[in-house]
Structure 1
């Protein structure tokens, strides 16, 4: 492929260039930073995140543009997705500092691996070609494998990393196999050209259908949808809470936009085929996720199974029209806010020698610190979809989109989703009951942390944007309009 400077359009990748430059600066600075001065790496990493945000805002465009010979796209959905990812990672760094210090993992590797993963997220979000999408996915996945095993003295973390690595490698192979079939059927790996070939019916229909099947399986693995969910609870439980918080938040926006790129941009004329598969995945994820979460005593595993059910809701959004894609993106942003706040409370309540990871560890939290109990209550009520919190409006947006779908069976799934939400509310309310009505078994004072201010703002946004969701919905709506 012959490139010239006009085709490259490097300015479109300004956020990624800023992020990579800052990443290398952090990597070099950390080499000469002692453990006592590791806070330099911490604050420098947060500065890199904010610089990436400014880099994205500096090249903000209302019209889609392409780079690297149409292999890279910058449009409304990519710009919003990157902003959410950068800001979410900056918030995570704030939450993780005291937790990592107590666990002996307050090291530069945590920050550099997270930023390498974020580069992969950015590439996935802006991919307009299967090759760039795959490169971004692998960069994200390889970084996560190493982050999970960051606690070298933990056999549980090593086991979780190995499980994720083996299953992730299998999913990557399945994705590559599907991509090869799509290429054989259409003669292209560019999403726009694949869609154009399908429209002109210049494709091998059966080979393309088989390729779609394999690609959907790989996408389901990244979402953690049933039956490709085996890695989720083990990784959430085995990984350090700071790493589990990252896995359970930022990659979700990448998975949502990644799915949009492949399915809506590239395989739009095979929509009926992949929508049927998405419906089956969503139904199974809502059922298994909610029922399994009810039986968990480990709150990190409970969050893992609840994540599976939430991903089912996002998959339901892709069954509707443009309104459904808008609702899915809004749900992904909402879930990132909820997940960051939920894991933030767990990190805040953990201390040296004690890991807050069981539901029983939250017993009597209201007696020990009423404010932290309130923050956790807001998170749990939002995840359960109780009004007027943001999680309720996210689920309502999905249900509203399903009611406008062209197929009656899609509309019927809205009733099923409501029933599953009612079942799911049980295990969230059980934790609330433990916090407010059970006697505290641990009377150790909860240390005050500066991160509590950021955590408070994070949780309160779930209430504010639940009562006044119009602003976030407008951002999402504008992003979608600037994409199509």
Structure 2
């Protein structure tokens, strides 16, 4: 009887090294949760997580200039892959600084150590010596590893696996705000259920695409799209279902409904992590699918996705006006920004790819700074996110209010901030790509979205502090570092954006 031989595809371990480092560190973190004593667990886990991210980022930098496919063409390492992986890792490192500050459980809640300074003496005694929710570190590293694979996936099955690898930890991370247990777990359950449906749509879409192309590799799908003899019904059904899964992760309307509840219910550092890193991963995968696999039917999907972009921008801008909770306001702001990003994606040219990657980095640092500030305004009951509680904050803490004002103006797209530069870049690419109608709607919604930002600014500076106005916690070293990085990058990308723009242009070439 002839022996059956199984030939494994060749693997370029150098190209896979950034992901392998993170997955190894996440597994190590799980082991450390078991073997380490509670008193040192948080510090060791934070150090291991940060070292893993730095090592992975180093591997990404060393791989610059690489344009290869590996593991049977399942993974592509090229300019966009390396740039997006680097962005995810840098933003993930800043997110870990915010997460690391929340190192003490007060009464079973995942809250910041700074919160103890505004708590009662009894609260401080309860918190002393209690362990933090240190399982957050391996979960975060697993999510980061899945995101790196997601933006590098060159076939739809690998992309689906990566989607699940980074989604499942996020479902758990959203439920860690135990002080607000009901709100947090409700948000996590909603995110899990809707995410499961989106993943199912994605998987059904993969089946249709396989029926259409006879393959799941993106380059083979590209060749099949050019063949007019193949079933167009399978093509458009598959493309539509796959798009639903990606549009859900990117928080694009009408698949955005999970975003406000999850942003409000999740612990603030986790919200910051999702707002920055998940958006990079989602749009990275969307860019690869549209630019590599389905570019041949661009004239068919551009009007549909353009309509989704307009709906997303208006939904985010209009509903942000009605919000009375800051985290929900930033959630709708995130939805509107997803619409602006989609405008850049739909340019379907090199400038569109470059400007979208620039926007992802610029927005990521700004939103991390915004949530870092929100985590500092709190009282003994926790974070004060209702707008009424922020009245007069500018008189109590002018420095914090000044920094938050600058971040809000960056979100509004005021010149000399990264928000203006990034919007100008994506709108310019869209005009060049023949999508001027999207730019018109983008400008209109940008003006609408400025109102809720300015309302917060007026409330902070022109209102009298009331009895309910909370104290502002003194930030710890980790939060201060994360906040400083966010503000510095927001300023730098508004004043001297050329280095990052040049970097994105150099990286704007997919391997086919």
Which residue of 361, 380, 387 corresponds with 1:333? 361
Which residue of 2 is the match for residue 137 of structure 1? 163
- Residues 217 and 454 of structure 1: is their aligned pair in 2 closer, same or farther, counting only changes over 3 Å? closer
Matches within 5 A, 1:78-117: 78-101=81-104, 104-105=109-110, 106-117=132-143
Which residue of 180, 190, 210 corresponds with 2:237? 210
Shift of 1:2: 5.0
Matches within 5 A, 1:250-269: 250-269=277-296
CA distance in 1, matches of 2:134, 2:279: 24
Q: Deviations over 1:420-461 (max 9, x none)?
A: 100100001111111211222336353242121331232122
Which residue of 2 is the match for residue 464 of structure 1? 492
Structure 2 SS opposite 1:172: helix
- Does the 8 Å contact 1:85/1:250 carry over to 2? yes
- Does the 8 Å contact 1:35/1:107 carry over to 2? no
Structure 1 SS opposite 2:383: coil
- Residues 396 and 2 of structure 1: is their aligned pair in 2 closer, same or farther, counting only changes over 3 Å? farther
- Does the 8 Å contact 1:19/1:48 carry over to 2? yes
Which residue of 225, 233, 236 corresponds with 2:263? 236
Shift of 1:352: 4.5
Structure 2 SS opposite 1:283: helix
CA distance in 2, matches of 1:352, 1:98: 17
CA distance in 2, matches of 1:356, 1:86: 30
Matches within 5 A, 1:423-434: 423-434=448-459
Shift of 1:357: 1.5
Matches within 5 A, 1:314-333: 314-320=341-347, 321-333=349-361
Which residue of 2 is the match for residue 49 of structure 1? 53
CA distance in 2, matches of 1:50, 1:118: 12
Which residue of 139, 143, 146 corresponds with 2:172? 146
CA distance in 1, matches of 2:470, 2:252: 39
Matches within 5 A, 1:349-368: 349-350=377-378, 352-368=380-396
Matches within 5 A, 1:176-215: 176-201=203-228, 203-215=230-242
Q: Which moved more, 1:25-34 or 1:295-304?
A: 25-34
CA distance in 1, matches of 2:292, 2:229: 17
Q: Is residue 312 of structure 1 aligned with residue 315 of structure 2? A: no
Shift of 1:248: 1.0
Which residue of 2 is the match for residue 413 of structure 1? 438
Which residue of 2 is the match for residue 374 of structure 1? 402
Shift of 1:202: 5.0
- Residues 53 and 472 of structure 1: is their aligned pair in 2 closer, same or farther, counting only changes over 3 Å? same
Shift of 1:369: 2.1
Matches within 5 A, 1:170-181: 170-181=197-208
CA distance in 1, matches of 2:297, 2:105: 51
Shift of 1:232: 0.5
Which residue of 1 is the match for residue 121 of structure 2? none
Structure 1 SS opposite 2:144: helix
TM score, norm. by length of structure 2: 0.90
- Does the 8 Å contact 1:375/1:460 carry over to 2? no
CA distance in 2, matches of 1:249, 1:150: 19
- Does the 8 Å contact 2:74/2:155 carry over to 1? yes
- Does the 8 Å contact 2:379/2:470 carry over to 1? no
Structure 1 SS opposite 2:135: helix
Which residue of 163, 182, 185 corresponds with 1:158? 185
Which residue of 397, 405, 410 corresponds with 2:425? 397
Q: How many residues align?
A: 479
CA distance in 1, matches of 2:356, 2:412: 17
Q: Which moved more, 1:455-464 or 1:118-127?
A: 455-464
Q: Is residue 474 of structure 1 aligned with residue 474 of structure 2? A: no
Which residue of 1 is the match for residue 252 of structure 2? 225
CA distance in 2, matches of 1:90, 1:129: 28
- Residues 356 and 36 of structure 1: is their aligned pair in 2 closer, same or farther, counting only changes over 3 Å? farther
Structure 1 SS opposite 2:76: strand
CA distance in 1, matches of 2:266, 2:470: 26
- Does the 8 Å contact 2:88/2:277 carry over to 1? yes
CA distance in 2, matches of 1:440, 1:258: 46
- Does the 8 Å contact 2:378/2:470 carry over to 1? no
TM score, norm. by length of structure 1: 0.95
Structure 2 SS opposite 1:386: coil
Q: What stretches of structure 1 of length at least 5 have no aligned partner?
A: none
Q: CA RMSD in A?
A: 1.8
Shift of 1:167: 0.7
Which residue of 446, 462, 468 corresponds with 1:437? 462
- Residues 356 and 17 of structure 1: is their aligned pair in 2 closer, same or farther, counting only changes over 3 Å? same
Q: Deviations over 1:285-332 (max 9, x none)?
A: 111111100000000000111111100011111221221122112111
Q: Is residue 288 of structure 1 aligned with residue 315 of structure 2? A: yes
Q: Deviations over 1:181-211 (max 9, x none)?
A: 1110111100001101222435212210121
- Does the 8 Å contact 2:350/2:505 carry over to 1? no
Which residue of 2 is the match for residue 345 of structure 1? 373
